[in-house]
Amino acid sequence: MLKLGILYKDNKVVNHRSLLKVVLNPILRYYGYCIGSKFEGNDFNGYKLFKQKPTNKIIYTLKTNDYDLIEFKRMIL
């Protein structure tokens, strides 16, 4: 099962997964970019495009860690 939304551990935001990021980031990483989530405290404040070292493969992973809470958001952008 794909876990999408804002993920919390110990009452702090530790990750944000959206359909946009799950689908596009593996492709963008191949070209040296990724989409990140901007937060102010625990409030989601949009997306940002980051430059990073390119990867040599496009790999999709559905693995998620254990979180205390997942605040589900809408799945379609």
Instruction: For residue range 40-58, list pLDDT tens digits in order.
Output: 887 888 899 999 999 998 8
Does residue 46 form part of some domain?
A: yes
Give the pLDDT of residue 39.
86
Does residue 42 form part of some domain?
A: yes
Alpha helices in 1-77 (DSSP H): 19-30
Instruction: Return the higher-pLDDT residue of 32 and 8.
Output: 32
Instruction: For residue range 3-22, list pLDDT tens digits in order.
Output: 778 888 788 888 888 888 88
> pTM for the whole thing?
0.71
Q: What is the mean pLDDT of residues 18-44?
A: 89
Structure tokens at 31: 């070209």
Is 38 a residue whose pLDDT tops 70?
yes
The domain total for the chain is 1
CA pair distance 61, 74, nearest whole angstrom = 21
Range of the domain at 36: 16-54
